Amino acid sequence: MRSYEEILAIAAERKGGVEAVLADVYIPKLPHEMAATPDDRWLSEMARHIFQTGMSWQVVNSKWDDIEDAFSGFDVAKLANMSEDWFDELLKDTRIIRSAPKIKAIQENAEFIMKVSEESGGFGNKIAYWPAEEYFDLLDWLKKEGSRLGGNTGAQAMRWSGRDGFIMTKDVVARLIEEGIVEKAPTSKAAKKAVQEAFNAWRTESGQTLNTISRVLAQSIDA
């Protein structure tokens, strides 16, 4: 596979320079900042990306303040103990996107976050100190233990919550295929291991964040 610098050069040629490639790269929070993030904000970000699956971002964002109100500010304990009456009320609430499976997923993720928080002294503690070298394991854990956090939903929620990581967008996957790391979007244990090892190598070589490396890979592909 090519080095990070070689792939960066490909991206820079495509986009008109390194500065253009790295414009708007999301800067992750420091571990202590993530650890201090309240549990309700983790649930809120999960909910946002669950609602956005299959929906327009503009629609979800335009309704977000009302969604926050309808879900009581994503109070984890309150949502973990959601009554059937409240669930039924939410299904009729025009302020939100009325999807029973998504509402149920939010309730289940409240239970998940509350359990992890009790065990780890805050959900943020669990996320903040998960090794970058094992990031795919974090995504698999979210998918297994959480609800509707598979695909890129969990990865998006982590990025927008401040966690450094990569996202398997079609362009990132295309570059990984081009480099001979995988043959298709990684779903098997072996393929995920190969992807993680490649990101680890690029991270060691460049000193860049996983977010930045992910961005460079995506920008190196002709759209």
Q: What is the mean pLDDT of residues 157-168?
A: 98
Q: What is the mean pLDDT of residues 188-198?
A: 98
Type of residue numbered 118: E
How many whole angstroms separate alpha carbon 73 and alpha carbon 65? 9
Q: What is the pLDDT of residue 223?
A: 67
- Give me the number of domains the chain comprises: 2
Q: What is the pLDDT of residue 222?
A: 87
How many whole angstroms separate alpha carbon 223 and alpha carbon 53? 22
How many whole angstroms separate alpha carbon 103 and alpha carbon 85? 13
Residue at 178 is within a domain: yes
Residue at 148 is within a domain: no
Residues 20 and 45 in one domain: no
Residues 40 and 127 in one domain: yes
Residues 189 and 115 in one domain: no
Residue 33 contacts residue 69 (beta carbons within 8 Å) = no
Q: Cα 210–124–146 angle (5° rounding)? A: 85
* pLDDT score of 73 more than 70: yes
Q: Cα 163–165–169 angle (5° rounding)? A: 130
The pair phi, psi for residue 166, each rounded to 5°, is -110, 160
How many whole angstroms separate alpha carbon 95 and alpha carbon 107? 17
Interhelix angle for 189-206 vs 210-219, to 10°?
Answer: 100
* pLDDT score of 51 more than 80: yes
Residues 16 and 80 in one domain: no
pLDDT-derived band at 181 (thresholds 50, 70, 90) equals very high
Residues 90 and 8 in one domain: no
Q: What is the pLDDT of residue 185?
A: 97
Residues 23 and 38 in one domain: no
**Which two three-digit tokens encode residue 142?**
């979210």
Residue at 156 is within a domain: no
